[in-house]
Amino acid sequence: MPQFGKTEKRLTILVALHIAICCISLIVIATATPKTLIDADVFHIHFRLDALWIALPTVALFSVVVGCLFIFYPFSIGYFVGFYFFSMTSCFLWLTCFSGFPYDHLRAGWSAAISCVAFLLPALLLGRSSKLSLEVSITTFDLIVSLAICLAAIAIASGAYHNFSIPLTGGLADARETILVPRPIGYLIWISSSALLPFAFAYSLARRWYKRLAIVILLQLLLFPVTLTKTALFAPLWLTFLHLLTTRTSSRYAVVLSLLLPMSLGLLLLPFGFPTAGQPFSIINFRMVAIPALAMDIYNDFFSHNELTHFCHVSLLKTVLTCPYSDQLSIIMHHEYRLGYFNASLFATEGIASVGVWLAPVSAFVCGIVIAFANRVSAGLPNAFILVSGGMLPQVLLNVPLSVAIATHGAALLCLLWYLTPRQLFIFAAPPKSLSSTQPTP
């Protein structure tokens, strides 16, 4: 029987509080006025008191059953990613109880809940205790990381040659759609943003390369005028926040708090009025958490009366498969629902869109096995190092398909870097405590 000590009790409280904050945030989005930042009607986010008796027990039951996995299982990259998917699924179950779309809400809810469990079982259970690594010497790996920083700098400089602008009058989404860069450079920019620079950030901290850390932060900031994405602008702040969490608490606490604290801040600032005080709520509670759940709602509606993709959203497969859609799914959804060009997570894309709600749990299970491979190649590294170096991965996976995350956003390259990282560095070197300890943390 797993022990239920102080750590487990505190985690239970934190997870329960987090889910409550998620539900309150969705109520605020649906009912708040003025709608300066978020128009809930446009985004199809609703709330009705008469459906509350369905939403509360649905989310509560799911949170109790699935939340137990995060109480008793140790940290891994699968734990980190899985908790964000758990949060997204909880939000979707809440949204679907109030959704105005005519798809089968009960079937979609069951599919989402089972998909989440199917993903978490391999992501949490597999690959943690076994180490798969090809450790190179510390000197060689130092050179590899330095080259990675140089590659990111070249990619950003090349992107800046084609586009370097900061819109002063808003309209980031419209300006972003006008950016044209050669495809190879675009891939390198996304890989740098999601994998190379976060890894270099964590490694520079571990090696106490503070000058190189400053260069990494500068490169991350320069990504904003090149890509015009808020993710690029806030990446240094986000990674610093994760690092500070790991210096003050254990890794599992840090994962939960990484969502709980920013979302709580967003809610607490709302009474101070829009638009300035509402910006944190709009960025964190809405864009970071509610939008991925909303994508599942939209995908359920669209594919309840349209043909499935059968994985033809993958560019390589599209060349050999007969695909019912010529455009990317983000473009199709924009034309259908007018909510902007946003992609969706593996639950929506590899699941709902590709195989439908009945087989979505099977797809989620296979994706969980892929994440378990990341557990294995990162085994033996300090938890805090994994958390910071993989800090952008959960946010990426919430918003793009797994296939896109692996290739375009550099998840495969991140796994390779974990695979090559010399474990002896964290034993014999003297980096900051949080990134150097190889002892397991709760």
Number of domains making up the chain:
1
Asked whether residue 394 is assigned to any structural domain, the reply reads no
Does pLDDT of 220 surpass 80? yes
385-436 pLDDT, tens digit each: 999 999 999 999 999 999 999 999 999 999 999 999 998 888 755 444 455 5
One-letter amino acid for residue 212 of the chain: R
Band (440; pLDDT cuts 50, 70, 90): very low
**CB-based contact 48:345 (threshold 8 Å):** no
**CB-based contact 30:47 (threshold 8 Å):** yes
End-to-end CA separation in angstroms for the chain: 17
Find the domain containing 80 and state its range.
6-132+250-360
Higher-confidence residue: 7 or 427?
7
Nearest to 264 by CA among 11, 1, 8, 19: 19
Determine the pLDDT at residue 441.
Answer: 45
Nearest to 86 by CA among 57, 56, 64, 55: 64
Determine the pLDDT at residue 246.
Answer: 95
Specify the residue for token string 């239920």.
4
Asked whether residue 33 is assigned to any structural domain, the reply reads yes
Asked whether residue 199 is assigned to any structural domain, the reply reads no
What is the DSSP code string of 273-338?
-TTTTTHHIIIIIIIIIIHHHHHHHHHHHHTTSS---TTTTSHHHHTTS--S-SS-HHHHHHHHH-
Mean pLDDT, all residues of the chain:
88
Nearest to 196 by CA among 354, 356, 409: 409
- Rounded CA-CA distance 169/225 in Å is 14
30-43 pLDDT, tens digit each: 987 555 556 656 78
**CB-based contact 256:193 (threshold 8 Å):** no
Asked whether residue 226 is assigned to any structural domain, the reply reads no
3-state SS track over 84-108? HHHHHHHHHHHHHHHCCCCCCHHHH
Asked whether residue 233 is assigned to any structural domain, the reply reads no
Asked whether residue 124 is assigned to any structural domain, the reply reads yes
Determine the pLDDT at residue 431.
Answer: 46
Q: Which two structure tokens, joined as six digits, stand for 258? A: 């990484």
Q: What's the DSSP call for residue 41?
A: T
- Rounded CA-CA distance 292/91 in Å is 9
Determine the pLDDT at residue 133.
Answer: 61
Percent of the chain with pLDDT over 90: 65
What's this model's pTM, rounded to 2 decimal places? Answer: 0.92
Asked whether residue 301 is assigned to any structural domain, the reply reads yes
Asked whether residue 172 is assigned to any structural domain, the reply reads no
Does pLDDT of 328 surpass 90? no
